[in-house]
Structure 1
């Protein structure tokens, strides 16, 4: 026991030193390439890392409390600027440091890149630390009474077939699901979709028990001047839900996260049928995403990295002349990163927070990154209803 504690403590010390070193290197890189930032004496880089960490711990909760709506209305980008303000305040009191407008933006981003990179190479489970923040946040939201029954958590990996899932399990890339099956706490069963076999119709049936007249992802309504209706379109989804909802959906006492339809949830988060206005973007459940200054920076870096992966994939496919090949632009690369990274992280943080708070009976969350990439990878992944 003592030996394990010593090893754990030593690992923590070494990892912390690596994080500090990586951030110092990041600061010097900005000092070298930027004309708008000067670090001053060599020891200032170390002081900046320590002071910024303390300033983030003290100031970020204050900024977050009063500016949360601005952060969310700017889709998280506001948090990057707030962190830059924190960096400017911290660096202002360090003699020899000079930072202009671009400098106070560049240094925090480079430090975030360094931290994210170090987290990956040291195999540090960042989420274990962040989940402690979520737990503290959830306990503040928890109602005084304790429910005496279990809830139901439903997770949809959009577009994932059971055959592909089995292949992924066999390859060892889904170890948690594999563990659940091996320990016999869960079973794996196939499910045949209705027609049409796409997300809009399926979610309408699951969440509302009614997918009448949802014949495809897109369809033409002849009786409505040949208008094209799109299941996931923010202007069409609310109208579709009005037609299919009886007010007693599956999530009437639960939460809907990143779905097309709400299941009559009173707290729909990033749900298409409830996002038909800027005012509806804000939802207090999103507070869980911004509990510390670093989290959204990490998401932003992973977002940029996913764009790079997509561009690299396009170049490789072009050089190898892989056919058939769908035309994928930089716009798609951004959409892919949004679905595959940003929505994934936000959905996980919100769902985790709501589970820990324990105030809901049911939760249904959709992860759409797989579906988004699959549709642009091979023609055979597209369903009839979406062609």
Structure 2
């Protein structure tokens, strides 16, 4: 690497006018070569020694700012290396030093990668340093297999299958024994689909997988009347509270409580090693800071430069793809401007690189269980579509990340089982607003007889809603400009979670019944149920306990859905059970609204600005996957379905017990009261 860096410095000195390695009087070729060698060596040493200290000092700097500082800091190190060079009089302008340092770091990174391919032991030594320091005081690594669980956020079962068939994910194809090579290897993994709960989103699924329960998580965001707050799964304060509730209900710390690591997740799972975990991001202290996980990655300047360059390339790629979609008048399409290119680049480059590096460190440290979330596909598919070319490119890069983890696992101090799963899929379709010209909130306000924006009132849906109100009230609806009949505190709160909508009335302290809603807003429920963009409603009933409402006056009590699913029939098996379960939650909204679903093309209508959405029932969003080694026992018996994130938790816990082997006794632990029977817990987890 020193030799390659020396040659790189000589080449740059020859092509950049403001960068020279010889004195003004001229020097011999030997002197110039020695100067370049000393300069490259000094730059390498400074990068190895000074750079980690700088990154540690900058941990409090936001990640995006740190990425922009990479070039400045690298250039400063190069200038320092040239100044202390005892041979010749090398000089460089500050702006040229930035370019030279970036190129040299990129070349060094590429050289290191090439050498690692030819020398796995060298690659292992390079990545092993930090892990060894952390484990120096730990007991010897066990010989029982460890488990790595990688979550490919938002990748549905059918999307994964399609990517394998198209050759986009060769690593997964090899695991499944479906490669395109002449001699296809035998399968090493088993692919199993599973079905989410009604709330098909990361917050509910990951909480259930990591902590064993997602009770009372009706959506991605919802309003809680007892506290007057809106809970949002990816908000740090909400994540802390949800994790606290889950631990209290399940009676154990989580799936990762025994020598576990949580990387890039919403919740900790009880792990002691944390990086980029939302539920601890608000805590103080070096071990729990949300940015502490960046240090392990950015302490290597070559990594920092490569990620920064990839970040810029991804921003440019997103801008180009967005302009191309607009030029082609692609439909459906949503806005991709503002800060979104930066958000996408962070999710697809920075978060991926940092999480994968953390997982590699965990493997080489010999941790018992690691759970990591890669969010790249989910972010891109929301705005480009789950079957778009943009999303396919992301799947290719995720497959390469899996291949890297597999290669490193071969050199870990203990054998590892690599499990890959998703928390949900995504269903395509245009937005509710794009199709009907008004939002769900506009439709609810119109159905309540409240003022709606002029643009929404002129749409067909808005006009029909106003007509329904006039008919129900037998009097004209107030027109814009007239004083409203309701103060703001009586206005409904309308929240969206993909194609799932939630309507709450904050002035009523309890969950309103269908009869109470009809008495206050006679036209609201008929307006929503009869709208062509809405599939069904769930409301509480004084007479039946809970009812599902559909178009043309359909009303089916929850306990009769098995015999007559009504509007739930198109949503497939399990829809009735999912709806009944959500109905039992204390914080279920007054009105739960699920969008229309077309089983012919799998499309739903998102109540948010997303053309790939998830959060409710309908299509691929409810069908994620579980990919596990054949060494693990089958997740379910033949012919049975794997249903719900809580059942996935039990499966993973069983696999951890199997990996621990008979040398570690794992007696059963009774479940807390009012909970379904749960899988046995280990002695270590009971102690935790």
Offset, 1:48: 7.0
The structure whose residues are more often strand, as a share, is 2
Give runs of aligned pairs for residues 101-180 of structure 1, distance below 5 A.
101-112=94-105, 130-142=123-135, 143-180=138-175
Q: What residue number does 1:361 align with?
A: 368
Q: Contact conserved, 1:201 with 1:211, CA < 8 A, in 2? A: yes
Tell me how far apart the structure 2 counterparts of residues 56 and 47 of structure 1 sit (CA, whole Å).
Answer: 14
Offset, 1:223: 2.7
Q: Contact conserved, 1:152 with 1:361, CA < 8 A, in 2? A: yes
Tell me how far apart the structure 1 counterparts of residues 363 and 162 of structure 2 sit (CA, whole Å).
Answer: 29
Change (3 A) 1:119 1:65: closer
Q: What residue number does 2:77 align with?
A: 86
Q: CA RMSD in A?
A: 3.4
Tell me how far apart the structure 1 counterparts of residues 320 and 39 of structure 2 sit (CA, whole Å).
Answer: 34
1:131-190 deviations in Å (ceiling 9; x for gaps): 441124333433342313222211100000011101111122211111122232211111
Change (3 A) 1:274 1:45: farther
Q: What residue number does 2:200 align with?
A: 197
After TM superposition, the score normalised by the length of structure 2 is 0.48
Change (3 A) 1:64 1:346: same
Change (3 A) 1:48 1:374: farther
Q: Secondary structure at 1:268's aligned position in 2?
A: strand
Give runs of aligned pairs for residues 375-386 of structure 1, distance below 5 A.
375-378=382-385, 379-380=428-429, 381-385=612-616
Whose radius of gyration is greater, 1 or 2? 2
1:87-135 deviations in Å (ceiling 9; x for gaps): 1121113644333544433432244456678999x99959966544112
Change (3 A) 1:339 1:146: same
Offset, 1:371: 0.4
Q: What residue number does 1:242 align with?
A: 244
Change (3 A) 1:114 1:139: closer
Q: Contact conserved, 2:176 with 2:191, CA < 8 A, in 1? A: yes
Tell me how far apart the structure 2 counterparts of residues 64 and 200 of structure 1 sit (CA, whole Å).
Answer: 36
Question: Aligned match of 2:231 in 226, 229, 232?
Answer: 229
Asked if 1:214 is matched to 2:217, the reply is yes
1:44-87 deviations in Å (ceiling 9; x for gaps): 99667644542244233332454442243333445544433321
1:247-300 deviations in Å (ceiling 9; x for gaps): 521111201000001111122210011101565436766443145321111111
Q: Contact conserved, 2:148 with 2:371, CA < 8 A, in 1? A: yes
Q: Contact conserved, 2:60 with 2:291, CA < 8 A, in 1? A: no
Offset, 1:203: 0.4
Q: Secondary structure at 1:236's aligned position in 2?
A: helix
Tell me how far apart the structure 2 counterparts of residues 52 and 291 of structure 1 sit (CA, whole Å).
Answer: 21
Tell me how far apart the structure 2 counterparts of residues 80 and 282 of structure 1 sit (CA, whole Å).
Answer: 23
Q: Secondary structure at 1:189's aligned position in 2?
A: strand
The structure whose residues are more often helix, as a share, is 1
Change (3 A) 1:296 1:327: same
Question: Aligned match of 1:98 in 91, 94, 104?
Answer: 91
Offset, 1:314: 1.1
Q: Secondary structure at 1:72's aligned position in 2?
A: coil
After TM superposition, the score normalised by the length of structure 1 is 0.82
Change (3 A) 1:130 1:294: farther
Q: Contact conserved, 1:27 with 1:111, CA < 8 A, in 2? A: no
Q: What residue number does 2:59 align with?
A: 72
Asked if 1:372 is matched to 2:379, the reply is yes
Q: Contact conserved, 2:21 with 2:36, CA < 8 A, in 1? A: no
Tell me how far apart the structure 1 counterparts of residues 111 and 320 of structure 2 sit (CA, whole Å).
Answer: 22
Asked if 1:264 is matched to 2:270, the reply is yes
Q: Secondary structure at 1:224's aligned position in 2?
A: coil
Q: What residue number does 1:288 align with?
A: 296
Q: Contact conserved, 1:22 with 1:118, CA < 8 A, in 2? A: no
Q: What residue number does 1:8 align with?
A: none
Question: Aligned match of 1:63 in 42, 47, 50?
Answer: 50
Tell me how far apart the structure 2 counterparts of residues 113 and 377 of structure 1 sit (CA, whole Å).
Answer: 30
Tell me how far apart the structure 1 counterparts of residues 119 and 45 of structure 2 sit (CA, whole Å).
Answer: 21
Tell me how far apart the structure 1 counterparts of residues 360 and 348 of structure 2 sit (CA, whole Å).
Answer: 18
1:176-229 deviations in Å (ceiling 9; x for gaps): 11112223221111111112000000000000111122111122223322x322
Q: What residue number does 1:306 align with?
A: 314
Change (3 A) 1:363 1:27: farther
Greater CA drift, 234-243 or 40-49: 40-49
Change (3 A) 1:283 1:310: closer
Q: Contact conserved, 1:261 with 1:273, CA < 8 A, in 2? A: yes
Tell me how far apart the structure 2 counterparts of residues 268 and 134 of structure 1 sit (CA, whole Å).
Answer: 18
Offset, 1:303: 0.9
Change (3 A) 1:144 1:218: same
Aligned length: 365
Q: Contact conserved, 1:217 with 1:385, CA < 8 A, in 2? A: no
Unaligned runs of 5+ in 1: 1-11
Q: Contact conserved, 2:52 with 2:300, CA < 8 A, in 1? A: no
Tell me how far apart the structure 1 counterparts of residues 291 and 345 of structure 2 sit (CA, whole Å).
Answer: 22
Q: Contact conserved, 1:69 with 1:282, CA < 8 A, in 2? A: no
Tell me how far apart the structure 2 counterparts of residues 126 and 102 of structure 1 sit (CA, whole Å).
Answer: 35
